[in-house]
Structure 1
Amino acid sequence: MHEAAPRRIIVGISGASGAILGVRLLELLRELDVESHLIVSKSAQVTLAYETDLKLKDVTDLADHCYRSDDMAACISSGSYRTLGMVIAPCSMRTLAEIASANSSSLLTRAADVVLKERKRLVLLARETPLNLAHIRNMLAVTEMGAIVAPPVPAFYARPANLEQMIDHTLGRVLDLFDIDTGGVKRWSGSSRHAQLPPANEDGDA
């Protein structure tokens, strides 16, 4: 009888804007008693300094285990090391392209490749706009490989009062993909205002 996979999630923070997404994900995993394995790319360290007042150590201290991006002998570089999967938050277009082409030039993309080959969950919070055709093709490629592209798009129906609420809702929906409930997602349960909506015109449009 197979035992359930340990509650471990690999967290990658790449150099796209939005480093706070990865930081907050680490905080949530700690609150939920989920073991975190962190990789911070060199570009992400630069972005972290630009976008926050946090030092690298502040971030690594949030993780249960942390690895250098060039540590190709780390446990998470092997499919025999069991995890629930991996989240890259945020995921730069460069990182996306490397995953799409199975280019394991760093531990970040090697770990992602391992998660895919082991048929585990890989969630990519792709951060770029507008998108060019190469970005879209790479998103298609990783989706066909089994990854989930989940751009950090705010859910305005939740009526977030601040950036923190927007981030928590986004990450709550990400962790839903691992069947982990943060308890902080404002879930849609249908509208109670049907009668107040304007009638559709003859073409069926509102």
Structure 2
Amino acid sequence: MTSDDLHTALLRPAVIQILRAAGFGYARPAVIDSLADLAARYMIMLASSTAQNAFTLHNTPVPTIQDVRLALSQSGALTPQMSTAEEGLRDAVEVEGVMVPYEDLRGVEGFVNWAQGPVNKEIRRVAGFGDDVNVEEIATGLDDQEDYLSALKTKHSKTGEESRYQGTVLGKESEVQSVTIVGGPATSIAEWTQKSLSASAKNNAWPPEAMSPATSGISSAPLTPLESE
């Protein structure tokens, strides 16, 4: 299975749950695949725009919330929203006794109200997050409610442990085990690699150790005077 197939397989349950929350009782596989493809393309576009904003604005591969917000604005998800030039024409505002540049937050507030509003109430319930959820706890990973994917993994795991998912994208990373070489010139692959690199560098050194400048064939050869024809 390729990475694209795996990501599509992981995205399809989320799309199905969203359709279910929206009131659809059934859908053709082609419809689900098309919606999953659209969702994947949209998230890739947001991720690419966020990464580009991070490199452009502060030359780092680690994005900030401002980079995500700008990507949402560029994709048209935050409306209405003023441009940076339009915000600069507005007077500064006072926030907690400090004058700060004017910032148009209508689009952000509208997006948050839409995500937390009654329109997505059923989606939040299906996902395992009720109305009493703390958004900040979810963002920091401190929320103790279980989402549907974790519940689904627990349901299909006979032991209820994460061991069957270890080393996959759904579980923890596998621990690297050291390999011991018995009866060889080295006790580990790392030691064998180091010895091989050292031997290669020694053999490729110039001048070779077996031929010093004083005893080399070139320096000990008799000099023949050049005669003009």
User: Which TM bucket (shorter chain)?
Assistant: under 0.3
Bigger fraction of residues in helix = 2
Structure number with greater Rg is 2
Bigger fraction of residues in strand = 1
Larger RCO of the pair (alpha carbons < 8 Å, separation 6+):
1
